[in-house]
Amino acid sequence: MSFVAISKVKYPQPLRDEIHSFGMSMIPLAKLQPGFISISFHQSTEDNETMMYWEWDTQADHEACMKSPDWNSLMAKSGELFHSEGVEFSISTYERLA
């Protein structure tokens, strides 16, 4: 069974393009990680909110990606953006049951 992480970012409208650009920059790096299965990036039709659906072989694969030097380097670049006024980030994780 696989492991899923769903990350969401709520943001003020003026940051939309920057949030989208950063989200897109994460995809190529994620695809290179061991245990990676898939990723999809979505924009809410109702709010200024994005959602990324990440699927991994195991929770350990997801955690290894989040701790990798390449990932930490990328995330360091997002620090100012994700700490901007009005930006809210959340992540929830799930184990696949069926």
pLDDT in tens, 25-49: 999 999 999 999 999 999 999 999 9
* Measured distance CA(58)–CA(64) in Å, rounded: 10
CA 34-10-15 angle, 5° bins: 95
Domains of the chain: 3-95 (3.30.70.100)
pLDDT in tens, 59-97: 999 999 999 999 999 888 888 898 999 999 999 999 988
The pLDDT of residue 98: 86
Q: How many CB atoms lie within 10 A of CB 23?
A: 19
